[in-house]
Amino acid sequence: MPRYRLTLEYDGTGLAGWQRQATGVSVQALIEAAFEKFCQQQVAVVAAGRTDAGVHALAQVAHVDLSRLRDPEEIRNAINFHLRPARVAVLDVAQAPHEFHARFSATGRRYLYRIINRRAPLALDQDRAWAITRPLDAEAMHRGAQVLVGHHDFSSFRDAQCQAKSPMKTLDRLDVTRLGEEIAVRAEARSFLHHQVRNMVGTLKLVGEGKWTEMDMAKALAARNRSAAGQTAPAAGLYLSGVGYEPR
């Protein structure tokens, strides 16, 4: 069975996340239903990362096996047609070697978290960013973020429902930058714990408000206890921005 690699973008607003759920509409269910309409075949679409409800994607990667060879452009156009009116789109389709696996072949994942820091409410970015009205010091947030870069026990930033076998992760990048009213937090690692990025952002908010210092960030990390860190940032500001693979 030929295997195809898909690159997807989606607006997670109102969706139950990537993974098929007993209740609620998921991205996976929408795409699998589109494939069934296109090729009269039930398929399993496997993604690089199972984004939560309300989380968006700029370049999610998935793979699917079909019963026969198809033209990649035909697949892209047909699936996008059958996905309407959902705000989910297939950006690219390419035939992949059978050993390629969207999740297990991935060498890294990149996330973007958007904060709009202003007094006025969001109009265009409602459900697509975290609106914070209190002034934030993005440079202080960036300095605090560097405490978390490296190989650590991230139990303080791990959701209680996380199913990962170990809290040990290597965070390759955690940058905070500001452009006008928007603060962008960019995180890169081979993999992340459940809610890790949102929990790190919620904790960095305390630094931006001047309530915490870099030392407080270090203490929270060392505590290895979720209650020692800050709040979980809203899902609406989080985007899976990319997935890395070894070049062929």
Q: Which two tokens stand for residue 225?
A: 């206890």
Assess whether pLDDT exceeds 80 at residue 9: yes
pLDDT band at 4 (very low <50, low <70, confident <90, very high): very high
pLDDT band at 247 (very low <50, low <70, confident <90, very high): confident
Q: What is the mean pLDDT of residues 137-154?
A: 98
Tell me the sheet residues that pair with 94: 5
E strands, the chain, are 3-10, 46-47, 56-65, 88-96, 106-117, 130-132, 150-153, 168-179, 182-189, 238-245
Q: Provide, rounded to the nearest whole percent, the portion of the chain with pLDDT above 70.
A: 100
Beta-sheet pairing, 238-245 with 56-65: parallel
3-96 in CATH: which number?
A: 3.30.70.580
* Of the candidate ranges 14-18, 20-24, 182-186, the one whose mean pLDDT is the lowest: 20-24
Assess whether pLDDT exceeds 80 at residue 248: no
Mean pLDDT of the residues in the chain: 97
Catalytically annotated residues = 52
Residue 246's CB: how many other CB atoms inside 10 A?
A: 7
- 107-245: CATH topology is Alpha-Beta Plaits (3.30.70)
Assess whether pLDDT exceeds 90 at residue 105: yes
The predicted pLDDT at position 76 comes to: 98
Assess whether pLDDT exceeds 80 at residue 72: yes
Alpha-carbon span 130 to 113, nearest angstrom:
8
Alpha-carbon span 61 to 195, nearest angstrom:
19
Assess whether pLDDT exceeds 70 at residue 233: yes
Assess whether pLDDT exceeds 80 at residue 153: yes
The predicted pLDDT at position 104 comes to: 96
The predicted pLDDT at position 21 comes to: 87
Q: What is the mean pLDDT of residues 47-54?
A: 95
What is the DSSP track for 106-170?
A: EEEEEEEEEEEESSSPPSTTTTTSEEE-S---HHHHHHHHGGG-EEEE-GGGS-TT---S-SEEE
The predicted pLDDT at position 23 comes to: 86
pLDDT digits (tens, 9 = 90+) for 175-184: 999 999 999 9
CB of 12 within 8 A of CB of 57? Answer: yes
Q: CA torsion 89→127→55→28, rounded to 10°?
A: -40
Q: What is the mean pLDDT of residues 222-243?
A: 98
3-96 and 107-245 in the same fold: yes
Q: What length does the chain have?
A: 248
Return phi, psi of residue 189, to 5°. Answer: -165, 165
Tokens 């009116």: give the residue.
Answer: 85
Alpha-carbon span 146 to 69, nearest angstrom:
47
Assess whether pLDDT exceeds 90 at residue 123: yes
Q: What is the mean pLDDT of residues 165-187?
A: 97
pLDDT band at 6 (very low <50, low <70, confident <90, very high): very high
Domain residue spans of the chain: 3-96, 107-245
The predicted pLDDT at position 25 comes to: 95
H/E stretch holding 215 = helix 214-223
User: DSSP secondary-structure letter at 22?
Assistant: S
User: DSSP secondary-structure letter at 51?
Assistant: P
Alpha-carbon span 152 to 183, nearest angstrom:
25
Alpha-carbon span 81 to 79, nearest angstrom:
5
Alpha-carbon span 30 to 13, nearest angstrom:
14
